[in-house]
Homo-oligomer: A and B are copies of this chain.
Amino acid sequence: MSTNIVRGPYKPGRIRAQSRDLILQAAEAEFACHGFRGATMQRIAESAKVPKANIHYYFSNKLGLYGAVLENTLNLWDTVFNEISDHDEPFDVLSRYIDAKMDFSRTHPKASRLFAKEMISGAPHLSAYLQQDYRLWFKQRMGIFESWIAQGKMDNVDPAHVIFMIWASTQYYADFEPQILIATDTKNLSEQAFLEASDSIKHIILKGCGIR
């Protein structure tokens, strides 16, 4: 006797590759929370509400999925930070940059955490991507800072450390949210809280670098 296989309902009509996005979103959350090795395809599938086999229809394997998520995240990163225009005055440029980074932490905490996990793990999958463009971007910004210092527009502080402080301080509100919530005894970080944090960081960085 041949047993007819009983299946769940076939879900049609998702416009082309909508499933792909569902999977990418679920994967982003799962990888951000548990890292590459800690994440499981099963949990990603459940979270995306698709069968696990469906993931393998869209992505070659776990590493391929992870790569796609990382690429997605880096693109997001770029589009946000390319909007920063090169004003001449350090006060304006840094104010805008800090606001933009802080806004990114608020609106894309999972992307920030994914990036952080990858870095803490030694950036095994990311280092290839970053080698080229990243250093160039960094060197250019360093140059701008140095010209500001030469023009007496800011104190003689190593620009690298200034940039690291900005990155560290702004990403902290996304990556270490639990620590902040515990310390401040609150349930979640409001948009208001982010704005206040942004103001404090701007005050300290700008004044601390002697920029006015």
Contacts and interface: CB of A to CB of B under 8 A. Distances in A.
Interface in A154-174: 155, 157-158, 160-165, 167-169, 171-173
A131 B185 CA distance: 9
A33 B119 CA distance: 10
Looking at chain A's contact residues, the main secondary structure is: helix
A160 B183 contact: yes
Given A165-B165, A176-B168, A203-B155, A123 B209 contact: no
A131 B33 CA distance: 21
A57 interface: no
A164 B178 contact: no
A165 B204 contact: yes
A113 B35 CA distance: 13
A130 interface: yes
A204 B169 contact: no
A185 B167 CA distance: 18
Contacts of A209: 204, 208
B120 A200 contact: no
A142 to B, nearest CB: 9
A18 interface: no
Interface string A115-150: 011011111000100110011001000000000000
B130 A182 contact: yes
A11 B203 CA distance: 60
A183 B38 contact: no
A177 to B, nearest CB: 8
B155 A164 contact: no
A107 interface: no
Given A172-B167, A175-B116, A161 B201 contact: yes
A36 interface: yes
A35 B122 CA distance: 13
Interface of A: 32-39, 113, 116-117, 119-123, 127, 130-131, 134-135, 138, 155, 157-158, 160-165, 167-169, 171-173, 175-176, 178-180, 182-185, 196-197, 200-201, 203-210
